[in-house]
Structure 1
Amino acid sequence: MNLEGRKIIVNKSGAELVSMLNTPEGYRDLMPDSLQSFEVRDQGFKFSLKGMPEIALVIDEVTENQVVLKSASSSLDFSLKGVMNPVNENQTEVQLLFEGKFNPFIKMMVEKPLKNFIDALTDNIEKI
């Protein structure tokens, strides 16, 4: 299952965004309003949203053009990638890409909440 967030322009350089997203603490302010808990863990974080199970993510890969978060759970195989392309030295185009390997039943249950989550993250990234 693949989901794509909309492309947005952020008034920060790619280096500023990568610096912010390279630490687990940088994700707290990007979470949706429905955030119920947020806990920083080794190289990642665990959070829960209203009406959804707890999710643990680790920062898997960081380059100048992308940040990849992966599931910390071996039972769920997915990643969330933030792709960044410079527009100019003070603006960056950002798009979130979700890729998950789910069975059809799980896909049916999680597709809409995940799309809402990606949209909320995108909205909050746009505000920074």
Structure 2
Amino acid sequence: MNLEGRKIMVNKSSKELFEMLKKPEDYKNLMPDSLTSFEHREDGFKFGLKGMPEVALKIAELEEDKKVVLKSASSSLDFSLTGNINPISEDKTEVQLLFDGNFNPFIKMMVEKPLQNFINALTDKIEQL
């Protein structure tokens, strides 16, 4: 299952944005308003949203000023969330979030809409930076 956030412009350099997205503690500021818990670790973070089970993510790949990949920290869930960072100018950067999950059809049906809403909420928060 693949989901895409909309492409947005952020008034920050690609370096500034990358530096923020590679720090697990900085994701707390990007979470939707329905956040109920957040705990960061050295290599990732765990969070809970109203009406959803807690999710743990770890930073799996960093490509300097270009890409940050978060993967599920649970072996029972196979998915990744990629933030593609594209510098437009010195202080403008295009960002897009991409979700890639390997779910059975039943799970996909249950999580597709909440996941798209989550990606949209993250995108909105990043756009406000």
TM-score range, shorter chain: over 0.9
* 1:35 aligned partner: 35
Partners of 1:35 and 1:89 in 2: how far apart? 33
RMSD of the alignment, in Å? 0.5
* 1:98 aligned partner: 99
Partners of 1:60 and 1:26 in 2: how far apart? 16
Deviations 1:50-69 (A, max 9, x none): 01110000011111211000
Q: TM (normalized to structure 1)? A: 0.99
* 2:26 aligned partner: 26
Which consecutive aligned stretches of 4+ in structure 1 deviate over 3 angstroms post-superposition?
A: none
CA apart distance, 1:22: 1.0
Runs (5+) with no aligned partner, structure 1 = none
2:41 alignment partner AA: R
Q: How does 1:1-128 map to 2 (within 5 A)?
A: 1-63=1-63, 64-128=65-129
Q: Give the total of aligned pairs.
A: 128
Deviations 1:28-64 (A, max 9, x none): 0000000000001230000000011100000111112
Runs (5+) with no aligned partner, structure 2 = none
Q: TM (normalized to structure 2)? A: 0.98
Partners of 1:77 and 1:33 in 2: how far apart? 25
Identity in percent: 71
| 3-state SS of 1:15 partner | helix
Partners of 2:5 and 2:21 in 1: how far apart? 17
